[in-house]
């Protein structure tokens, strides 16, 4: 092998080695409503930066409990802004890293075409036996659903028909599988190409529940991990923003 070729191969090898040294993994806790967009963002993040996001999904309240019990998460994407703020006040986050990455929307959805009317009046009918929602104690979308029912004066009327999922993913699955005729889910779960992709839905007016501001923050465990900062920066960038908006979130 001649010297120029040998030198080129050595340089390429060192380049690959350097990339490997720079690349890192980051452990990320993500609210269940953000599952689909985060899967896309994580794939793009690895492709664009070389860093890898190892993602676990769940209800915000349960993820908080796991963090307090020592789970090794370095970045947390919650379904609200109060849980990251609480962790911040408890000294578990890197100061100055908390920001709102998305504003979620609540939708009343049925897998059946024409079942949910454009004004959500189906909620007041006796036609359904099961109304699915996420556990309001651990899932902000569940708490938002309860707020909607209270404002509509339906809390007691539908109380015996409510079925609770552990998180918003399970609440969606109850409806998708037909175990509940309708349910309150995240718009992101049923939104594609600028519209609700299947079934029928009522996008709940924003004045019926508090804004679902979803905050992200770097945990103290991630303070020295370059991949943690890189992921947060990536979430603020135009490519991630495009993905987030495509699932019906506001920014």
- Residue 157 is classified by DSSP as T
Q: Which of 45, 110, 49, 109 is nearest to 77 (CA)?
A: 45
Residue 192 has pLDDT above 90, yes or no: no
pLDDT digits (tens, 9 = 90+) for 36-71: 999 999 999 999 999 999 999 999 999 999 999 999
Would the pLDDT of 156 be above 50? yes
> Does pLDDT of 142 surpass 70?
yes
Averaged pLDDT, 121-144: 96
CATH 3.40.190.10 domain span(s) along the chain: 24-103+212-246, 105-208
Confidence of residue 126 (pLDDT cuts 50, 70, 90): confident
Beta pairing partners, 84 = none
CATH of 24-103+212-246, one of 3.30.390.50, 3.50.50.60, 3.40.190.10, 3.40.50.880: 3.40.190.10
What pLDDT score was predicted for residue 19?
46
Range 105-208 classified under CATH 3.50.50.60: no
Share of the chain above pLDDT 90, in %: 88
Total-model pTM: 0.86
- Write the burial class of residue 213 (CB in 10 Å: 0-12 exposed, 13-18 middle, 19+ buried): middle
41 contact partners, CB below 8 Å, separation of at least 6: 53, 234, 235, 240, 243, 244
């Amino acid at each position: 092998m001649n010297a120029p070729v040998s030198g080129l191969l050595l340089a390429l090898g060192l380049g690959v080695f350097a990339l490997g040294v720079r690349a890192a993994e980051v452990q990320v806790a993500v609210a269940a409503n953000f599952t689909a967009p985060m899967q896309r963002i994580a794939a793009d993040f690895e492709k664009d930066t070389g860093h890898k996001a190892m993602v676990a999904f769940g209800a915000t309240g349960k993820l908080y409990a796991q963090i307090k019990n020592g789970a090794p998460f370095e970045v947390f994407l919650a379904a609200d802004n109060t849980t990251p703020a609480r962790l911040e006040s408890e000294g578990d986050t890197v100061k100055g890293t908390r920001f709102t990455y998305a504003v979620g929307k609540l939708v009343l959805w049925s897998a059946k075409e024409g079942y949910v009317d454009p004004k959500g009046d189906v909620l007041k009918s006796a036609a359904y036996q099961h109304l699915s929602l996420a556990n309001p104690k651990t899932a902000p979308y569940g708490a938002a659903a309860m707020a909607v029912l209270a404002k509509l004066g339906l809390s007691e009327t539908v109380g015996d028909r409510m079925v609770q999922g552990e998180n918003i993913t399970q609440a969606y699955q109850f409806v998708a599988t037909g175990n509940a005729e309708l349910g309150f889910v995240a718009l992101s779960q049923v939104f594609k190409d600028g519209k609700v992709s299947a079934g029928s839905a009522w996008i709940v007016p924003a004045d019926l529940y508090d804004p679902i501001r979803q905050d992200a923050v770097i945990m103290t465990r991630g303070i020295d991990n370059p991949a943690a900062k890189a992921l947060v920066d990536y979430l603020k960038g135009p490519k991630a923003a495009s993905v987030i908006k495509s699932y019906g979130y506001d920014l």
